[in-house]
Structure formats: C-alpha cells, structure tokens
Amino acid sequence: MKRICLGTMITLLYQSRMRSADKIKTVCGGIFAAFGLDIDNFNKELPSHLKSGHDPAPGDLIDAARNLSIEDIDRGFEKYVLPLIHNEKHEAVFRAIKDILRDDTTILGTTVVGKMAGFEKDNILNYESFDESALLANVVTYAIISTENDKLGANIREIGTGYIDGFVGTGENIYFISPLVDQDQVSPLKRTLKDPMFDRIFKKATDMTISGMSNPSKACVFYIDPNNCKFRFRDLKDFIINNIGSYVFSRAQIKRITEMTKNNTAVGSRAMLKFMQKYGADAGNVLGEILLFIFMEQELDAPKIMSKIELDEYNRGIVSKSDGIHLLSLDRSGQPFHQLVFGASDIVGDLSAAVDRAFDKIIKIEAHGDDELRMVESTTQWTIYDPDATQYMVELMRPQKGGTYKPDMAFGAFLGYTIQLDKPEADSQKYRTAVKNQLIKDIAAVQSHITDLIVQNGLSGYSFYFYVLPFNDAPNEKVSIVNELLTGGVV
C-alpha cells in the first residue's frame, strides 16, 4: 500500500524536478527552507535517508511544522518548492497525490491532511481546482507531523521510478487557481483602492478554506489592533475618509472631477459631500458596504464594477440586490478565468447571525441572477469606465467566437460581529493574543454552518469569499463610526 509520508513526498517532488534541482539534497533543501530551516545544518546523509524511509523526520523539522502558521508554510512552499517542479509536471504531482491518498487507507475521509480545514482527504479527492502551494504545504506538513517516516520504507518503495511520468498529460483534470500576479498589469479595469495603510490597520488573524466545496471558497478573518484591551477605530475612520472617493465615484467621474478642478483633493471633498447627502439620515448599513468594498479591492484584488452607492444611483430600471459588484480575474492552469463577485454585508452582534443575514442577501442575488448579469452587461453602455476598460468589459461580457468564456458568478461577504472572549483578559499584550485565538475559534465554529447554508440552498456551484472583522459592540459601533465620519468627530 502506498502511504503519504515525508519520504513519499520527497520522492514525488524529486521525480518532478527541474534539471536545476538534480539532487535529492536540493529538493529536501527546498522543503526545509519552506519551514525556515537550512538543510546544510543537518547530516549530509539525511536527504537520501529521508527519501528512502531510513530516518525519521528530524525534531527541528517536526517542531517547525507544528509551530509555524500554515500561512507562513504556504508562503515558503510558494517561494522555495514550486520553482523546483518542472513546468510539465505540476499537474502530475497532484494526480499522484490523489492516487496515493486513495491507496492510503490509514487516512480517513474526514481527516484534515495538513493544518487547515478544507483539506480533508475526501475534499482533496473530489476537488479539481487547487491553490498549488497551499495543498502541497498542507500535505507535506501532515507527512512530517502525523507519520513515522522511518517505519514506512516498504511503502515508499512502492512508488517506482517513472511513477510521476505516468501522470503527465493524462488522468484527472487538475486546475490551479490563484490570483494573477498584478491585476493592474493584465486588465484595463484597474483597482480603485491601493492604499499601503491597509496592512497597517487591518491585521490578519487567519484564513481558512471552506470545506466541502467543489469550487474554491475561503474565509479571511481580520482585526484592528486593540489598544488597552479595546478596539479603537480612529485609523479605520481615517482610512475610509482618505479613500471615500473610490467608493462613491466611478472611475470616469473621478477622472472628470480631477481634470475639471485640476485638484486631486476635490475628489475626496465632493465624495464626502455626496456621502453625507446619501447617508445622513441612515447610517445603519453603510459601514458593512464600505468595508466589503475595501476587502474586495485590497485583499481579494478584485476591482469594483460598482459599489453599493453606485448601484443605487445607476440602477436604470434594474434594482440590484447586491451590496457591490467586483471582477476577480484568476489564472486557471495558464488560462484567464473570471468571476463576477456579488457582495453581501452585515454587521450584527453574533457571527452566526451575520452569516445568516448575509446569506439571505446572497440567496436573493442568486434568485435574480439573470437580472444582475444583465445589469453588469448594461454598464458597458454607461459612462462609468474609461474607453479601454469599456471595451474590455464589452469583450468580457459578450465574448466572440474563440474568445474567453463569460465570467462565472461568485459571492463575497463582509461579516462584522461583537467578539466575546471565552475568558476575560486585562493584560494588553495577552489580550491581543486572546483576540486572535478567539477569532480563529469563532470562524471555525461557524464553518460547518456556512457549508450547510451553501449546500441547502443549492449554491455549491459558486465560489465564496468571506471577510470577517470583530467589534467591541457591533450593533452600536456600526452606527457610531459612520456618524463620526459624517460629523467629523473622533471615534
């Protein structure tokens, strides 16, 4: 029986190597580097002994696999391991992993093969589309932590010479989905929000693949760095004010205002005036809509087609159910692949309730999908893009013979809720750690509920992108923060 273990994974990667990675040490060096270790600090015989199953995984490697976040390991695999794989053998590696997983009866179907929910054995076997570095990072981490390499030499030997070559260009469909390197370099539809302050204000607690989904779906959890055991929103408010023009105005409107006034600050001041006129009497929902826009552009790298305020202004007979629409361009095994991401947002006290209320909107959007798509198609007749972007959208929404496929629908959701620590914490530094741990627990607790809602409502054919942010008192702060924006006060 073939088994997943460290020797197995080294063997697969060695059989898939580029010419420049012609030594077992080079392949092992890439794996060790992904975990922050230098292969030269170990016995020179170790690489071959690990590959054969003669030696167990060293303790330093096991400790690193246990202690590093899967996000850090993922980045390490992207940097140090993927470049070692021959261009023609990336898909073959994944077909081989699936083949071995089917054979490895010691791993149950529900077992997470790694550290991240969503990489259960059954999901890996059922998926066609993968984040390449994430899957490799999880499977190799599992191999290091959860198997005894020195007891599996006979299983490793079942992977004969040329095993990988048998999967090249044949077998199951494998697609690698990852954001294009730079959206602005590949598409005339540019992002409207690229503020370097984003990473200073919004701290990422975790991101997680939504398990049980045929299409790539994830949840990303952020938080504002707490001060004296409380979230302070001054920087968030400043961030919104500095970027309000991108939310309120279309690209063409921003260009016209700038050219007419010869003053870049005019965009912000006019946007703030329009924002006040629109929301002066009702601040209840707008914060979630703005934060949805921010995360779609900054984190998902999906340029807006129209924000919620623009949808209300430009409905032209079709009232959108969405809180914003964005275009996500992906690379699917070297081919462009596009999704129209329709947004839903909600800020409420309980995270599960926020999920429910966001799905109420998502279900309505999907039920009126034809109208929503027609509205996006009709934007090419409006003056919201520049000429190049207009032509791009025409070709995207009305592809000619031999052109690209029309974009799929997908859903993006912003969820705000009141965080409640399992145990009160008065020490500021310990509070930061407790917040991050609580966020990880909270999103894990609602993951199965999200999966159930997707399946129960017949939405398994769509991708979902969730962005979560905690508040001290979500129902009150979603109003007070917007009121502070409108009045110029301090949160």
Q: Which of 126, 150, 178 marks a domain boundary?
A: 178
Residues 10 and 31 occupy one common structural domain: yes
Residues 349 and 464 occupy one common structural domain: yes
Residues 192 and 129 occupy one common structural domain: no
Identify the band that residue 129 occupies on the pLDDT scale cut at 50, 70 and 90: confident
Q: Is residue 169 part of a domain?
A: yes
Q: What percent of the chain has pLDDT over 70?
A: 91
Q: Which of 178, 211, 230 marks a domain boundary?
A: 178
Q: Is residue 352 part of a domain?
A: yes
Answer whether residue 130 shows pLDDT above 90. Answer: no
Residues 165 and 89 occupy one common structural domain: yes
Residues 277 and 157 occupy one common structural domain: no
Q: State how far the Cα of 147 lies from the Cα of 132, in Å rounded to an integer.
A: 22
- Give me the pLDDT at residue 445, please: 93
Picking from 246, 382, 371, the residue whose alpha carbon sits closest to that of residue 321 is 371
If one counts the domains in the chain, the total is 2
Q: Is residue 322 part of a domain?
A: yes
* Host domain of residue 276: 183-487
Q: Is residue 12 part of a domain?
A: yes
Residues 135 and 204 occupy one common structural domain: no
Residues 231 and 361 occupy one common structural domain: yes
Residues 55 and 69 occupy one common structural domain: yes
Q: What is the pLDDT of residues 230-283, one digit of tens each?
A: 999 999 999 999 999 999 888 888 888 887 887 767 788 888 888 888 776 566
Q: Is residue 24 part of a domain?
A: yes
> How confident is the model over 103-119, as a mean pLDDT?
89
Residues 67 and 102 occupy one common structural domain: yes
Q: State how far the Cα of 453 lies from the Cα of 119, in Å rounded to an integer.
A: 20
Q: Is residue 62 part of a domain?
A: yes
Q: Which of 152, 178, 204 marks a domain boundary?
A: 178
Give me 385's structure tokens. Answer: 């893009």
Q: State how far the Cα of 71 lies from the Cα of 42, in Å rounded to an integer.
A: 25
Residues 278 and 338 occupy one common structural domain: yes
Residues 392 and 435 occupy one common structural domain: yes
Answer whether residue 336 shows pLDDT above 80. Answer: no
Q: Is the pTM higher than 0.85? A: no
Residues 119 and 240 occupy one common structural domain: no
Q: Is 43 exposed, middle or buried (0-12, 13-18, 19+ CB in 10 A)?
A: exposed
- Give me the pLDDT at residue 180, please: 44
Phi, psi of 185 (to 5 degrees): -90, -15
Q: Is residue 1 part of a domain?
A: no
Give me 31's structure tokens. Answer: 């794996």
- Give me the pLDDT at residue 490, please: 43
Q: What is the pLDDT of residues 425-476, one digit of tens each?
A: 889 889 999 999 999 999 999 998 999 999 899 998 899 999 999 999 999 9
Q: Is residue 431 part of a domain?
A: yes
Of the listed ranges 103-107, 126-130, 337-341, 482-486, the one predicted with least confidence: 126-130
- In what helix (H) or strand (E) does residue 386 lie, and over which residues does it extend? none
Identify the band that residue 362 occupies on the pLDDT scale cut at 50, 70 and 90: very high
